[in-house]
Every structure is written in C-alpha cells, then in structure tokens.
Amino acid sequence: MTVSPCRSNLFVKRKDLYQFLLSVQEKCLQNNDKQIVSISQEIDLVDPLLVLDQLTQANEINFYFEDKAKGEAIAAIDSVAKLQIDGADRFTQAEYFIKSCLKNIINFGNANQPFSGPHFFCYFSFFDKNAQVDYPFPSATIFLPRWQVAVKNQRCILVTNIIINPNVNIARLLENVQNKIEFIQSLENYSANIDYFPKNLYKKSITNSAQFKRSVVSALEKIRSSHLSKIVLADILDVKSSNHFDLVKSLNNLRQNHPNCYIFSTSNGKGQNFIGASPERLISINNQQLITDALAGSAPRGKTPAEDAANANRLLNSEKEKHEHSLVLDFITQRLCQLGLLPQILAPRLRQLSNIQHLWTPISATVPANIHPLKIVGQLHPTPAVAGAARDVACAEIRRYESFERGLYAAPLGWIDSQGNCEFIVGIRSALIDGDRARLYAGAGIVAGSDPDKEFAEVQLKLQALLKALV
C-alpha cells in the first residue's frame, strides 16, 4: 500500500486532492487498470451510529462495532471491494483477499490517527458451510467499505475509499464525495428519536424447555462416557412484531443496557441484519500485542449487593465452573503455542455484566509480523467457550442436537487495518433481524455436574436480556 504525504484540512485544500486523483488516473490510463484511493481526515465529532442510520441504503452492506469501555465506535457503509465465500479454507482466502487489496490501495490524508486508512470488515459463520441453504449470510464476508466513520477518545476520523479508473470523471467524483462529507458533518448536532417500541410482540420458542433439558441430559451421558468433556448447547427464541424492528434504535438500546459489552451489527444488503451485545473478545491486536479472553463459567447477578457478592464468591469457588473455564483457557493457550506464540496468562477475574457474570482470564502474546490476524482467528475458532471439547466431536454433536442453523451466532466478527491491528469478537447474545421478525440466540456450556434446569434458566436469562433491547 502506497502512502501519500499527510495533509491537514484535506477538503479545504480540495485542489490538492483533485490534482492527486488526476495523477492516479494518469497511472491507471498508462496501465489500463484501476486503483483504490483511501482518503482519511479528522472531522468534528459525530456519532457513528447516527451516520449508519442516516447514510445506509437498504441494498448496501454495512457493519457497526462499538466498545464503550474503550471509547471506540466504528460504522462501515457500502463496499468498494467484497469477498463472500464458503468452505474450510475461508480464513486463508480472506487473508489472501485482504493482502491483494492492500497492494492496490494508495492512502491519502491524515494517516496517523487511530482508525485512519483502509479497514477490512469481516464476519464468519459458526460452521464453514451453512446447512440451511437459504440462510441469509454466507459463511464468510470480507469487505472494504466506501464510507467509514470512527470515534476514539472523542476524536472522529472519516475514511472514504474510492475507485479510480481511466474513465471516471474526477471533478464529478470529488463533488459527490464533498457533498456526502458535508452531509455527514451536518449530523454533528443531530439526535435520533428513540421513543419507539413495537406493539403486540409475539414470542415463540422453537426449542421447548423439555426438549432443551432432554438434550442436556443426553449430553451429560456422553460426557460421563468420556465421549467429550464439554458441549455448548444453544437455544433460539423467534419473535414477531406488529412493526418492522428498528436496527439503529435497537443498537442504541443495546449500548445503553450493556455498556460493558461489544455492540455489533452486520447487514447483508438484502434486508437482513445480525446484531448483538457480546461480552466475549476473540482477539485484539494493537502494535503486534495480542489480547484474547478465556470466558467461561457463569452465574446470575444478585438483586442486592450482598446477594451479588455471594453469587460471585460461589462462581469463583465452584469446581464445576472452574473446570469449564479451564477447558477454554487450556485450548486457547495450546492453539496459540501451535502458531509459535508465547502466551502469557494474566490473573483470573470476574467479568460482571448487567444481568450475568463470568469467570474471565485474559491472555496476552506478541505476534510476529509474518502471522496474519486471520491465521489466529482461524486457529482459535470455535473455542470450547462456544463449541465444546473435544472440539470436532462437540461440533458434530451440536449439529445433531440443534434443529436450527447457527449461522453467524457464536462466530467471529471484526475488523483488520493495513498494519495488522484488529479486533474480533464472538457473536453471542445475538439476533437475526428480518423486517418484523427476529430470531434470538443464546447458549450454555454443559460439563460434568451441569444441572438441566439451571442451564435452561441461564439460556433464558441471556435471551430475555437481548429481547428487552429490540424495538
């Protein structure tokens, strides 16, 4: 990727950009080729969620990601390059696609700020091929957005990715870009009306309580026979509303109700969206420093401080919960070692969310420059936190027990920049939205000592927390 000299007040100096794009077009004429130009500039603070609301067209792919604890949010809208694939080599193909695109990108403008320059947005399904042929998302989607608006620490970066070819009218293209940027900037003082709730919400659980508990009992028998040591069983809740669900207002509710979770949304450009509030990071890499989470073992939050402290203490001292947690921790460290990394296990702690708390052990490592983030994502997914152990056996059993398609549920979603920095989460506590219908997903880890009634209650707790946010 080529980097042009940094310019401040990019669109004040519109002539500079115009001349630069003309020079790029001249090279395209000489080579009979096309070039992607990634233009970055700092703008006045605007909420990326509002940009998503106001800029997105129904037929455009998009992505939203927010980590309130880190003061980060990013919206990616439309695409100038996209790959959608199925198959076991999807992570390898995605890596090749990103590397190929980067060879054809020139970076222009303010390239030194966080979230400047080209970012690739990725989401994968749980299995490498969906069994449900009409599931609305392929098993892998990777795209470079046309528009990207990100906030970090109260500073806002706008990235515009455009395609230059021998035939494009540079003056007209630049005018369209300028108009769109002015529109985005006009949202600075705009606030969305969020006083809307659907009426007559009709709920239908596809897997009834008796069926789910029977699956838990059957799984426990397999665990006792040493067929496997853990399996994660998911349940779904289908919901129908009298109105179409509002994506942006639902996301706004999620970020208000779950400030300690990663808020996310993806759209396939065909009317379906996958959204959620996940507590689980798969990997984060910043300047070659990796952090990943072992997150497994759960207990509800208490209704009083005393009850909450008692629940936390029981969780920290439960042999069953600690065993479930150790399966995830051991798996992650082993898989990182297989890549040649040297994982450092940080002190275990609790990850306390609004309605549930988890055993949590962060793991760090230094990533060599020759290991692409998607190699690590492919190496880790799915962890025992969302699949089980032994992993391959657990995945086969999941297909047998669950009568629905997991799709993007419990699968990696995130972004990668041109320097190898990235953030990927696991798409749990999530919902597939399609007009006035929504399918909510949640799961529970089954290990020796699991109680079918308690596991069912845990899943319902997670589903209800998500249901409260949908509007």
Q: Is 332 helix (H, G, I), strand (E, B) or coil?
A: helix
462 is catalytic: no
CA dist 166 and 254 (Å) reads 45
**Strand residues in 268-314 grouped as ranges (E):** 272-278, 281-286, 289-300
Strand bridging mode 140-152 / 62-67: unpaired
Which sign, positive or negative, has the C-alpha torsion 119, 124, 128, 129? negative
Which member of 72, 230, 402, 405 is catalytic? 230
CA dist 276 and 164 (Å) reads 36
Residue 417 identity (one-letter amino acid): D
CA Rg value for the chain = 23
Give residues with Cβ within 8 angstroms of 253, minimum separation 6: 194, 468, 469, 470, 471
230 is catalytic: yes
Give residues with Cβ within 8 angstroms of 206, minimum separation 6: 236, 237, 238, 403, 404
CA dist 394 and 389 (Å) reads 6
- In total, the chain counts a number of residues equal to 471
Which sign, positive or negative, has the C-alpha torsion 439, 445, 448, 452? negative
Of 111, 116, 148, nearest to 5 (Cα)? Answer: 111
CA dist 410 and 248 (Å) reads 22
Which member of 66, 72, 95, 280 is catalytic? 280
Which sign, positive or negative, has the C-alpha torsion 267, 46, 413, 1? positive
Q: Which residues are catalytic?
A: 230, 280
